[in-house]
Structures are given as C-alpha cells and as structure tokens.
Amino acid sequence: MQSERRRERARARARLSAEVRRILGGLGYEEVETPCLVPAPGMEPHIDAFQATFVPEGGGTSRPLWLQNSPEYAMKRLLAEGFERVFQLARVFRNGEVSRTHNPEFTMLEFYRAGTDYRGIMADLEALVDGAARALLPGGEPRVTRDGRALSLAAPFETLTVAEAFRRHARVDLEACAGDADRLARAARAAGHDPGPPGEAFDDVFFRVMLDAVEPRLGVDRPTWLVDWPASMAALSKVKAADPRWAERFELYAGGLELANGFTELTDAREQRARLLEEQALRRRLGRPGYPLDEKFLEAVGRMPEAGGVAVGFDRLLMLLTGAASIEEVLLFPAHGFWD
C-alpha cells in the first residue's frame, strides 16, 4: 500500500511537470538550468541558506558557497543577456524550514518575461494553473475540494489590492496609515486585532494582522490575487509610479496555501543595491547569518529590460491539485522520513 502511494505521488509530480513545460512552452518560454551552488544567496531577512565550502583539489584558496534559495539572481542575469522568456523547475534549499507547507529541499517554478509587468505575469500564471487543473483533475473539471469546500481553479481569479483586503477582512484602513506603525497599531487594536507590543515596526504589525485576519480568508472559493503591497515590502519589485506608497508585487492564494510571489522587476541597480544593503543590515540585527552581495547580479540589474517574474511553490501547487494536506504527501522522500 505504501509503495503504491509513492508511485501515485511520482506520477502526479511527473504529470504536473509535463503540463508546466507544455503550457509555458506554448506561451513562448524557454526552459533553462542555473547553478544550485551560488556565491551569494537571496538576502530575504527571514530565510536562511545552507552553506557549503568549495575546496580546490590539489590546494588553493577555499571559498564559501551556498545552496540557492531561489534561482532568481541567475535568471535575471539571463534577461540582461537578451533572453526574453525563461522558466525553470529548480531545486531550492532553505535552512530550518520544516512544517505542513515547508521542506528544507523543495521545487520552485520560476519564470520571467521581458517586455511586461506584474499583470502580464499574472495572466501567464493564471493560464498555467487553469490549464494544469483541466489536464490533471478528473473529467477535465478545474475544481478541487479544500477543507470541505469546493474551490474553482478556472480563470479568471479574484483580484484584491492589499488595501482592499485589509478593509474587507480586517476592517483596517491601510491607506490611512501610510506606513506609520503607531497609526496601524491603533487601527488594528480598534478593529479587535492584537498589534503586538508597543514599538513594533510597521511591517511587523502589518503581518500580525495579515496572518490573523486577512490570509485565512483569501482563496476560499477561487484563487485570489493579492496585489499592490506596501512599498516597504517591495523586495525586488518596482514601486508604482502613480502612487509610490505601493509596490507592483502580487501573491497568489488558494485553498489555504500561498502559491506564488511575483513582481514587476526592479531595473534600477542603485536602488536594488540600497535595498539589499538594508536587508543585509536587518539580517545582522536579527542575529541571522550574513551573506555577501551578488555583484554580478547587481551589474546585470542595470541592463535588464522592463520585465515581470514570479516564483511558484511547485510542491504546494501539487498539494492543491491532489488534495494533499501536507507537503510530505507529495514528496517521495520528505526530510522527516529521509533524514531520521
């Protein structure tokens, strides 16, 4: 019985991989492979990378390397070199992440397209999810059941700005807070939420409310695009020219799962360096390992065309399509069972 379940997992993963390649290939994307060992991993403050040491055979100077936590830097270098539409089913690694939806080693689907913005990438990902659901689900019906509720995966999906989602689900006027942590904390408390201890940063208060009141209500009956995030959470995305309080960033939610995170890509190398230095400093304040800047990536940012891109949790998408409650159910060798 256990052996048959493992074979079913392998078949489902193979079918979804094939559909990803078919659909993205039909949209003009080329599949690429980039190195797993990198000279500088992503700088996200709350994500730690696995470090390795390269020791030259026969002597020489050893150097630190890291297992990639995303292929983003390398794929953007390809955009700068003239590649127009690229995707990758990448093995990625994040130290310390083990939960119902996390495994230290997992598969990330990332794709990038020149000449578009986050809305164009959203359209491509919507077509991918809809198409994969029709190909893999019984009878070609893009519908699953999550937590006892029917969830349609047919396009179009629901779209909410972050500000709209906070008003609707948390009764908090995020626009009126304008990046002010104290004002957001007061608004959250007045709406019945716990904003945390006094003196919390804006982003910390935001995520307390987000995780408590907003995120559980997204993607219930159909997937939800959550777009236009506060500029302080821009990461590697552009801010909106018409209203710089917000960044051209989206996340996709469905059936209790955060499936994807995407941007209109930042192409200002100076601004990108400043943001990475801020994140580097924050990592130090949090007591997390420090990482070097990827200078080749930063040089490439200034040569990148206008572009959009997205990172999709491939294993989570597979969970959604197969009805799995845990990421362990879609992995042949999850960390708990393989390492123990």
**53-67 pLDDT, tens digit each:** 999 988 889 999 999
When pLDDT is cut at 50, 70 and 90, the band that residue 97 belongs to is: confident
Cβ–Cβ < 8 Å for 162, 155? no
Please write the tens of the pLDDT for every residue from 261-277. Answer: 999 999 999 999 999 99
Number of domains in the chain: 1
Asked whether residue 142 is assigned to any structural domain, the reply reads yes
Determine the structural domain holding residue 82 and report its residue range: 2-157+222-339
Asked whether residue 200 is assigned to any structural domain, the reply reads no
Which residues does residue 114 pair with via DSSP β-bridges, in sequence order? Answer: 307
Comparing CA positions, the residue from 161, 166, 164, 143 lying closest to residue 153 is 143
Asked whether residue 42 is assigned to any structural domain, the reply reads yes
Please write the tens of the pLDDT for every residue from 130-169. Answer: 999 999 999 999 999 998 999 999 999 999 999 999 999 9
State pTM to two decimals.
Answer: 0.96
Please write the tens of the pLDDT for every residue from 80-90. Answer: 999 999 999 99
Asked whether residue 193 is assigned to any structural domain, the reply reads no
Asked whether residue 239 is assigned to any structural domain, the reply reads yes
Asked whether residue 144 is assigned to any structural domain, the reply reads yes
Please write the tens of the pLDDT for every residue from 275-286. Answer: 999 999 999 999
* Spatial distance between the Cα atoms of 89 and 14, rounded to a whole number of angstroms: 12
Asked whether residue 304 is assigned to any structural domain, the reply reads yes
Asked whether residue 187 is assigned to any structural domain, the reply reads no
- Is residue 273 classed as helix, strand or coil in its secondary structure? helix
Residue 1 pLDDT > 70 = no
Cβ–Cβ < 8 Å for 87, 111? yes
Please write the tens of the pLDDT for every residue from 239-257. Answer: 999 999 999 999 999 999 9
Q: What is the CATH number of the domain that holds 285?
A: 3.30.930.10
Over range 214-218, report the average pLDDT.
97
